[in-house]
Amino acid sequence: MLAFSHVSKTYGETVGAGLTALHDVSFQVPSGRRVAIVGRSGSGKSTLLHLAAGIDLPTRGKVEVLGKDLSSFSDRDRTLLRRNEIGLVFQFFHLLPHLPVRENVALPALVAGGKPRDFEPRVLELLDRVSLADRAGDPVSNLSGGEMQRVAICRALLRRPRLILADEPTGNLDDENSWLVLELMLELVTREKATLLYVTHSRELAGLADETWRIHSGVLDAA
């Protein structure tokens, strides 16, 4: 599903020695696996996810999603791949405050030009799974942090992506909500038969995954 082959990412290389955020990273995530990467702030976790999503490209090495080398894609093709095959979950939710819960979940389908009759049942199905069906018409600003992240997870799963990438999905939540939200995300990903890669600073939350890798100063230990 996702593979890195000797991937390095250096910023500012053209103006000097540069800053290496990732160094010679190689791994494979098979379809259906749930993998956590744990590391401190600045260790390279977010850079790794940006490369996995095709938001950025490696300085050296190869990133493959579904067996396709992302560096061979145009910007437009990488955008379409994210839209159709990858679901993204962020620490700060990135919901649109002027839209109700229902439309925030539906946003990927709306951007893709979908018709409401085609995606509304799916929106309500997902909201029901996270116990928010009765809040579908509420402004997202009325929700708690944990509820907002549940909405964001529903949005990520809306179009049945095969790969879910989550960047510190509980980093903005208290301990109780962190466990509830992460357990819910793992359950939903399993039901959807998707592959999950999430990064976290918490070893305890990482322990809920099928396997845990560690990253330090841009070097990944995936043993």
CA distance linking residue 116 with residue 33, whole number of Å: 32
Band (pLDDT 50/70/90 cuts) for residue 76 is: very high
Q: How confident is the model at residue 33 (pLDDT cuts 50, 70, 90)?
A: very high
Q: Look up residue 88 and give its amino acid.
A: L
The pLDDT-based confidence of 16 (bands split at 50, 70, 90) is low
Give the Cα separation of 74 and 181 in Å (integer). Answer: 35
- Measured CA to CA, the distance from residue 55 to residue 138 in angstroms comes to 31
First-residue to last-residue Cα distance in the chain: 18
**Is 90 exceeded by the pLDDT of residue 102?**
yes
Report, as an integer, the average pLDDT of 80-107: 91
Percent of the chain with pLDDT over 70: 97
Note the pTM of the prediction, 2 decimals.
Answer: 0.90
Which fold would CATH assign to domain 29-60+72-221? Rossmann fold (3.40.50)
Q: What three-state secondary structure class fits 79?
A: helix
| Predicted pLDDT of residue 91 | 82
Q: What is the C-alpha separation between 185 and 155, in angstroms, rounded?
A: 12
Distance CA 16, CA 42 (A): 20
pLDDT digits (tens, 9 = 90+) for 52-61: 999 999 999 9
Residue 14 has pLDDT above 60, yes or no: no
Whether 152 shows a pLDDT value over 60: the answer reads yes
pLDDT tens digit sequence for 105-114: 999 998 888 8
Q: Is the pLDDT at 129 greater than 70, yes or no?
A: yes
pLDDT at residue 23, as a whole number: 94
* 111 or 3: which leads in pLDDT: 3
Compute the distance between CA of residue 86 and CA of residue 53 in angstroms, rounded to an integer: 7
Own/partner pairs, 39-42, CB within 8 angstroms, 24+ separation: 39/199, 39/201, 39/214, 39/215, 39/216, 40/201, 40/216, 41/201
Q: Which residues contact 121 (CB under 8 A, 6 or more apart)?
A: none
CA dist., res. 166 & res. 181, Å (int): 12
Q: Which residue has the tokens 């290496």?
A: 20
Q: How confident is the model at residue 31 (pLDDT cuts 50, 70, 90)?
A: very high
Q: Identify the helix (H) or strand (E) that includes residue 113.
A: none
Mean pLDDT of the chain: 91
Q: How far apart are CA 121 and CA 55, in angstroms?
A: 30
Mean pLDDT, to the nearest integer, of 134-152? 92
The CA-atom distances, in angstroms, between 74 and each of 54, 84, 158, 159, 211 are: 10, 15, 25, 22, 33
